[in-house]
Amino acid sequence: MTKISLRALVITLFAAATAPAVADTYTLDPNHTHPSMEMSHMGYSIWRGKFNRSSGKVTYDPAAHTGSVDVQTDASSIDWGQDEMDKIAQTADWLDVAHYPTMTYSGLLVFDGDKVVAVDGKLTVRGVTKPVKLTVNSFRCGPNPYTKKFVCGADAEGDLDRADFGMTKYADNGLGKIHLRIQVEGIKDE
């Protein structure tokens, strides 16, 4: 091997060893993504609902301890399990889907050692953006036993006050508090 080609080989190997890792990208699986919530119904009971249509991407680099989340949710897909409540939730007093059809959440994964423990993000609802931190209760990646595709899944939760997003009707005395529960799976992009 000549001196020049040996030098080129050493430079190539050094460049490959020191190149930053590239995060893998995962597309959210709409059939296995379930953003849901709980809120007081005027102090009498707890209502539980979900959004039926979400899409988005997650990046994840376990070696570099980095990652991000970018999710869009169709506000009109709100589902309380009761048609009349779904209609009310879409009105101008609430989600105002006529003017704001999409809600978004973007954030960065937070690590404790090698473990994903939270997402520091911002939620946009009705054109208002506020910080919303999600605690990650579980996060796991691996091949799906049925499809054989590589998947990452998580269970997360967090809290917000809907009054912060302009939904002030019946939000006095803590009645605007919403607890989020989010189950999500993403399939690794090829």
Kind plus residue range of the DSSP H or E element containing 12: helix 3-18
Question: Helix or strand or coil: residue 86?
Answer: helix
11 within domain boundaries = no
Tens-digit pLDDT profile for residues 45-54 = 999 999 999 9
pLDDT computed for residue 21 by the predictor: 62
Measured in degrees and rounded to the nearest 5, phi and psi for residue 6 equal: -65, -45
1 within domain boundaries = no
64 within domain boundaries = yes
2 within domain boundaries = no
Residue 152's domain comprises 21-188
Q: What is the CATH number of the domain that holds 68?
A: 2.40.128.110
Tens-digit pLDDT profile for residues 172-185 = 999 999 999 999 99
- C-alpha dist (Å) from residue 162 to 37, 94, 168, 174, 182: 12, 9, 7, 10, 17
Q: What is the pTM of this model?
A: 0.86
99 within domain boundaries = yes
